[in-house]
Structure 1
Amino acid sequence: MSFNKNEMLIMPAVDIKNGKCVQLVQGEPGSEMVKIDNPEKVAKYWEDLGAKNIHVIDLSGTIDGETSFDIIKKILNEVSVPIQLGGGIRNLDYARQLLDLDIERLIIGTMGIQQPETITQLSDEYGPERIMISLDSKDNKVVIKGWQEKIDKSPSEIANDFKEHGAGSILFTNVDVEGLLGGFYTEPVEDLKKSVDLPIVYSGGITTIDDIKKLNESGVEGIVIGSALYTDKIDLTEALKYQKRI
């Protein structure tokens, strides 16, 4: 599903670790606040509630290097809405394997930042609309390798580099607020939105319907909601009312 300037896609997060759907606090292993069997059933649940797109992250691939390929296939078989997927994508062969499964958008993080030519290759082969670069930010600096290593540039400083390399969209996660259920900061989102002409999907700290309204007004093309859905702080049916641009 391509992005539409007249709406903001609202995507439930299905994060996979050790065969389960989990929600971590600040991405820290062992901090699971949510742990549910059968991630494919969870994805189907969100689709049944009206989600037009599901955001899947393979935390096992990111943290442990053990990809959840079989579960990813189960999710694709279970749901009919588009999937955007990231996590544990460390080489071109695996990226191609996932794209050939008919993933709508593949989210490339560490590999793309360290080897930007891989973004160009995948964009040339599959089309830029299917390649999303992940720019995760901590203290306004990009972090990689599961948020464990920081590089000395902000998302806004490098975003246009990835547009030139062929990325079709950006996933921007503010690690400072991720998983804390305390809201988000508008300034980093607005700075990135001003700095690059690419669709931006925002993730991190979305806790209330008011947060969703603010992000809609910011002009981002999509948002990812995780912990707030699983802890009943946000009702997806209510949230989906704000997909249309305010």
Structure 2
Amino acid sequence: MIIIPAIDLYRGQCVRLRKGRFDQISVYDYSPITLAQGYALQGAQRLHIVDLDGAKSGTIEQLHLIQAMHAPGLCLQVGGGIRSLETAKTCLQAGINKLVLGSIAVINPNLTAQIIELTKPENIVLALDVQIKNNLPKPAINGWQVPTDTNLWDLVNHYQQLGITQILCTDIESDGMMNGPNFQLYQEAVTRFPQIGWQASGGIRDINDLEKLSTIGIAAAILGRMLYESDFDITSYLARKAW
């Protein structure tokens, strides 16, 4: 399992939301560019960057800043407002390695299929951020502001048939809370779709959570608030895993 630091951008600043709510936002006094470079120096191979302005407006808005966050050897997976073929092309031309598709994958499967065909499935990460309703995970859209009645597992099955192999799944209730991830959700995800490389996001607190996710079979852990507010060090963790 790899570690993927998350940097959420809002109006050019590093922020974290709680449960995806823009009225519960923490702003961190870090330069996004310096932070990205620091994660690369610690040994991170990939960054997960979200343009929250883009997620709200429907079109990516901070691409120039994101380009400046690139560091040698660092893979950028970027989401937030990629909802058209033109935007997807623009991101690829800007040097983005992997496009993160969220809302569009839920509300417009036909357009999503076109983007997948354009970019190739291996360059796409689906971001399916869910709320649990009657024990069923249901994706929310538009920066988590709008709930849907779509069944997560039906959606995953559809996109797996189109060649998608990487899915980031967030339990919105856990996001930014530092109360632990939804292990039950991720266990079910891996059991139902073992061929998918699942990325877990939301609520991860410490090394114990990481070890449990790894044991479940999660491919990657997305770390946000934990990196800002704890003494967790990527370099030390990677060294420990190499023992």
1:71 to 2:65 alignment: yes
Partner residue of 1:141 out of 117, 138, 141: 138
SS at match of 1:80: coil
Tell me which moved more, 228-237 or 182-191: 228-237
Check whether the contact 2:178–2:225 (CA below 8 A) recurs between aligned residues.
Answer: yes
Q: Shift of the alpha carbon at 1:75?
A: 1.2
**How far 1:233 sits from its partner (Å)?**
5.1
Kept in 1, the 8 Å contact 2:13–2:27? The answer is no
Shift of residue 193 of structure 1? 1.2
Q: Say if 2:148 is the partner of 1:151.
A: yes
8 Å CA contact retained: 1:212, 1:242 = no
Q: 2: distance between equivalents of 1:71 and 1:30?
A: 24
Moved more, 160-169 or 91-100: 160-169
Greater shift in the superposed pair: 200-209 or 55-64: 55-64
Corresponding position of 1:234 = 232
Aligned equivalents of 2:72, 2:36: Cα separation in 1 = 7
TM-score by length of 1: 0.89
Distance 2:30 2:38 in 1: 13
The 3-state SS of whatever aligns with 1:182 is coil
Question: Residues 99-114 of structure 1 correspond to what in structure 2 (within 5 A)?
Answer: 99-114=92-107
**How much does 1:32 deviate?**
2.7
CA distance in 2, matches of 1:64, 1:153: 22
Q: Which amino acid aligns with 1:193?
A: V
Runs of 4+ deviating beyond 3 Å: 241-244
Q: What TM-score do you get using the length of structure 2 for normalisation?
A: 0.90
- Whether the aligned pair in 1 keeps the contact of 2:4 and 2:222 (CA below 8 Å) is yes
1:169-194 deviation digits (Å, cap 9, x = unpaired):
11111111000011112110011112
State the alpha-carbon separation in 1 of the partners of residues 217 and 72 from structure 2: 28
Q: Does 1:21 align with 2:14?
A: yes
* Matched residue, 1:12: 5
* 1:55 shift after superposition: 0.9
The answer to whether 1:126 aligns with 2:123 is no
Q: Offset of 1:243 from its aligned partner?
A: 5.8
Report which of the two has the higher share of strand: 2
Compute the displacement of 1:84 (Å). Answer: 0.7
Name the CA distance, whole Å, in 1 between partners of 2:184 and 2:241.
21
Does 207-216 or 116-125 show the bigger shift?
A: 116-125
Unaligned runs of at least 5 residues, structure 1: 1-7
Residue of 81, 88, 102 corresponding to 2:74: 81
1:151 to partner: Cα distance: 1.8
Structure 1 residue aligned with 2:202, among 201, 204, 227? 204
Amino acid at match of 2:35: V
For the residue of structure 2 that corresponds to 1:88, the secondary structure is: coil
Matching residue of 1:4: none
Paired residues of 1:142 and 1:155 also in contact (CA < 8 A): yes
- CA deviations on 1:145-199 (whole Å, 9 max, x unpaired) are 1112222233223211111234231111111100001111211001111222221
SS of residue in 2 equivalent to 1:165: coil
One-letter identity of the residue aligned with 1:168: T
Paired residues of 2:129 and 2:140 also in contact (CA < 8 A): yes
- Call closer, same or farther: CA 1:35–1:128 in 2, change over 3 Å: same
Deviation at 1:37, TM superposition (A): 4.3
Give percent identity, aligned residues only.
29
- How many Å separate the matches in 1 of 2:224 and 2:87? 26
**Native 8 Å contact 1:119 1:167 kept in 2:** no
CA contact (8 A) 1:208 1:233 kept: no
- The aligned runs of 1:162-181 (5 Å cut-off) are 162-181=159-178
